[in-house]
Amino acid sequence: VCSSDLYMDVVAYTGNGGTQTLSSLNFSPDLVWIKSRSVGYDHQLTDSVRGTGKELQSDLTSAETSYGLVSALNSNGFTVFTNGTYLASNASGTTYVAWCWDKSATPGFDIVTYTGNGSTQNISHSLGVAPKMMIVKDRTGANEWAVYHANLTSAAYYLSLNQTIAQTSAAAWNSTAPTSSVFSVGGVANVSPNNYVAYLWSEVAGFSKFGSYTGNGSSDGPFLYCGFRPAFVIIKSSSSGYDWFMFD
């Protein structure tokens, strides 16, 4: 069982319009996912593998940007910056939330970068078990975000993080489920010679849970057992074009 706040935690803060260091974490974050709560700014993802100062916007297909919105990943948090024109991480008076993860096999989270070859290829990861969920983005081109989930119809399908559409049958994973050491990419997840990043999660008892359910149309919906009180929940309909929902 993982102590949750040693590997994943949520930071709520108010922007100050300049540079601000958030230092409430019990770990050095490898992925910081920021979203404004009070203004309709884009989502911003920064990670330790691609390096600080580089962002991906999960609601857009845009290639990687270099606005410098997260300027440092520190031993107990991170530093955000407003560059004067792009305000998505620290605008004065704007409220934000940041979802943060530590990258290691213990909490079941890995970050992998690779170069597309335009055909099919297997990419190595270090989780030691098969991931239950993967989020892949082309850093070079304006291609959609591809999301693998073990509870979709099969590995022939993916969800698009930047769209509300239902699961799509296309060659992102070559109809091949990931294993304890590799995952297979093709199609939108393997355009040559573009650079990619992949975020991978495995299931860890008492810490993380990945599943599915069927809606019943009632205000008292299905109960989903996790085995712990979740700090962060993502929900997306796989059969209908409804929004992505994120709760913490």
Cβ neighbour number for residue 247 with a 10 Å cutoff: 9
Overall pTM surpassing 0.85 (yes/no): yes
pLDDT for 168 equals 95
Q: Which residues contact 151 (CB under 8 A, 6 or more apart)?
A: 210, 211, 212, 238
**Three-class DSSP category at 229:** coil
> Is residue 242 helix, strand or coil?
coil
CA–CA separation, 25 and 100 (whole Å): 9
Mean pLDDT of the region 199-212: 96
Q: Tell me what pLDDT residue 4 has.
A: 76
Tell whether the model's pLDDT for residue 1 goes beyond 60: no
The pair of three-digit structure tokens given for residue 32, joined into one six-digit string: 């910081």
* H or E stretch covering 184: strand 182-186
Distance from C-alpha of 3 to C-alpha of 231, rounded to nearest angstrom: 12
Q: What is the pLDDT, as a whole number, of residue 65?
A: 96
